[in-house]
Structure 1
Amino acid sequence: MLRARLATAGVVIPLLIVVILYAPPWLFAAVVGGIAAFGVVEYFAMAFPAQLGNRVFGIAMGWMFVGAMASASPEWVAMAMVIALVVGLSWTLLARPDFEKGLADLGFTFLGAAYVGVLLPYFIWLWREPQGPYWVIFLLAVAMAGDSSGYFVGRAAGRHKLMPRVSPGKTVEGALGILAGNALGGGMAKLVVLPELSWAEALVIAVAAGVLGQVGDLCESMMKRTFTTKESGWLFPGHGGVLDRIDSLVFPVALLYYYVNLYR
């Protein structure tokens, strides 16, 4: 497992850096949009494994959100949400005689479409900000350093379960190891790509992103447990699927975008 994780990281990380730093806007949006679109498919394969109609409808809604977010136009995003709400409720009313179950399914559909189709494309919005590519690298460095440190600390010293009902393998010690790695990754990224940040700001952002990332990770574990699935997919050997890789990123990237957009 560790060898597969390292091999995958060794291939993916250099490609990510090249795309983040040198890709034209349309290509970066296409890469993020493609990853998000794949994540949408993963989510609805978990949520509705035996309900083809619900799965197709959910994927269509999620892809519509991805396209609207990739446009970086608030008007397109608002229109996509209005269309999804009107069509979703109308579909439930007209095509689902069991409308109580239909409304519950619609809730799962909106959850997946927004969780992947709205939150992940915030990378596109963040990337388009002044120094946006460096902020993207900063966040990825924070998340990857935390993921690595949490993995090793958890295996070596994990004793106390963090939330066993949601994720039996996660421990308090591993969570603290993640935060230490987040701080280290943020400090290194500050030195390399954002030297104008103060140490205090860099560390606060890194730790805040780490806390949000762990909440996002647990939320994804909660969804997988609800859907009785261990991993969301297979795209990244040793790492699982797209959802398994983005769970610690989708909450931080959205809030980091607003921090950079409003306060920097």
Structure 2
Amino acid sequence: MKRLITAAVLLPLVILFILKATVFQFSLLVFLLSLLGLDEFYRMALPHRRAEGRGAALTGAASVFVIFSGSPVVPLLTLTALVLAFSLVALFRLKEIRQAAPDVALILTGFLYVPLLLAHLVLVRALPHGISWLFLIMVIVMAGDSFAYYVGSSIGKTPLYPAVSPKKSVEGALGGLAGSVSGAVIAKFTFFPELSIVHCFGAALVLGVLGQLGDLFESLIKRSCGVKDSGSIIPGHGGVLDRIDSILFAAPAAYYYAYFLF
């Protein structure tokens, strides 16, 4: 019930915001999600380095705004600066020599995992039909999640990846892909008429597969860190990473699909 209430409140607000917000205003939402997601990642992966984690979360999330620089050099410069800065932080805030390498590796992984991937949502928003593409991502991922859950709960017998997510099944994964395709077809006949049937299947399969892999990857991280949820900020749903794990992998695929193929 808590999950349903939270979804009933948040989902309409997100939809309304996407419809009304400018590209820059939408980037503020992506910045917030990146900040919260990175903070959760560092809380899980580096609980003993909270000061560095907070600094890395803030600066990493702020890197989302380099998209507006208009220069291909600035994003590379920003990533270089982050790598150098937090490598030096690790160098001069040593607590244990053996822990230094994995600590700095995890800090840099956080930059690549959350803001780099999530920033593609801003690029998607800036595309022609960008709002429709954002909604298509949501529909494909959400329909895939729902179908995977119900199919897996009903007839799932073959474990998909038990070492990472024991409850997921092959049947559920296939049901999820069917749900993603169904969602894309519904999108075509409701809010995205420019989408051809070929693109319904192409985009749904690419985003659906990567969305499920994104979900598994976050499960891998949580299992590695020994936690059940990435956080508790969303009542009934866990943390921000628990909600955007599929989108993190699907967003770049959506952008490059739309840019090169659509």
Give the aligned partner of residue 86 of structure 1. 84
Give, in angstroms, the shift of residue 72 of structure 1. 7.2
Q: Which residue of 2 aligns with 1:240?
A: 238
Instruction: Answer yes or no: is the 8 Å Cα contact 2:203–2:257 preserved in 1.
Output: no
Q: Which moved more, 1:56-65 or 1:204-213?
A: 56-65
Q: 1:96 Cα shift?
A: 2.4
Report the identity percentage.
37
1:175 correspondence with 2:173: yes
CA apart distance, 1:97 = 6.7
1:165/1:93 CA distance change after superposition, 3 Å: same
1:262 maps to what in 2?
260
CA shift in 2, pair 1:70/1:33, >3 Å: farther
2:4 corresponds to which letter in structure 1? L
Structure 1 residue aligned with 2:21: 23
After TM superposition, the structure 1 stretch with the greater mean CA deviation from structure 2, 231-240 or 135-144, is 231-240
Whole-angstrom CA distance in 2 between matches of 1:115 and 1:183: 26
Look up the equivalent residue of 1:203 and give its one-letter code: F
CA contact (8 A) 1:62 1:114 kept: no
Q: Kindly tell me: are residues 141 and 88 of structure 1, through their superposed partners in 2, closer, same or farther at Cα, counting changes over 3 Å? A: same
After superposition, give the CA deviation of every residue in 1:52-86 in whole Å (9 maximum; x if it has no partner).
24423432442343343576764432121110121
Structure 1 residues 71 and 167, CA, compared in 2 at 3 Å: closer, same or farther? farther
Q: CA–CA distance in 1 between the matches of 2:83 and 2:45?
A: 19
Say whether the 8 Å CA contact 2:27–2:65 is kept in structure 1. Answer: no
The separation in 2 between residues aligned to 1:72 and 1:232, in whole angstroms, is 34
Q: How much has 1:102 moved relative to structure 2?
A: 0.9
Deviation by residue 1:236-261 (Cα, 9 ceiling, x = unmatched)? 22221110111111111112112222
TM norm structure 2: 0.92
**In structure 1, what residue type is equivalent to 2:204?**
A
Q: What SS does the aligned partner of 1:123 have? A: helix
Q: C-alpha offsets along residues 127-169 of structure 1, whole Å, 9 cap, x if unaligned?
A: 0111100000011001111111111112222222111111112
Whether contact under 8 Å (1:65, 1:114) holds in the other structure is: no
Quote the Cα distance in structure 2 between the aligned partners of 1:73 and 1:182: 35
Show the counterpart of 1:161: 159
Hey, what does 1:206 align to over in structure 2?
204
8 Å Cα contact 1:46-1:227 kept in structure 2: yes
Which one is further off, 93-102 or 142-151?
93-102
* 2:85 partner SS: helix
Which piece of structure 1 moves more, 211-220 or 12-21? 12-21
Runs of 4+ in structure 1 deviating by more than 6 angstroms, as ranges, are none
Match of 2:108 in 1: 110
CA drift at 1:215: 0.9
| 1:140 and 2:138 aligned | yes
Q: Deviations over 1:12-50 (max 9, x none)?
A: 221122111121223211112111211111111111123
Where 1:170 maps in the other structure, the secondary structure is strand
Which amino acid is 2:244 matched to? I
In the TM superposition, residue 119 of structure 1 has moved relative to its aligned partner by 0.8
The CA distance in 2 between the partners of 1:244 and 1:69, in whole Å, is 25
Q: Which moved more, 1:226-235 or 1:71-80?
A: 71-80
Which stretch of structure 1 is more off in the superposition, 29-38 or 139-148? 29-38
Task: For structure 2, list consecutive stretches of 5 or more residues without a partner in the other structure.
Answer: none
Distance in 2 of aligned mates of 1:243 and 1:136: 18
Name the amino acid aligned to 2:85.
V
TM superposition score normalised by structure 1? 0.92
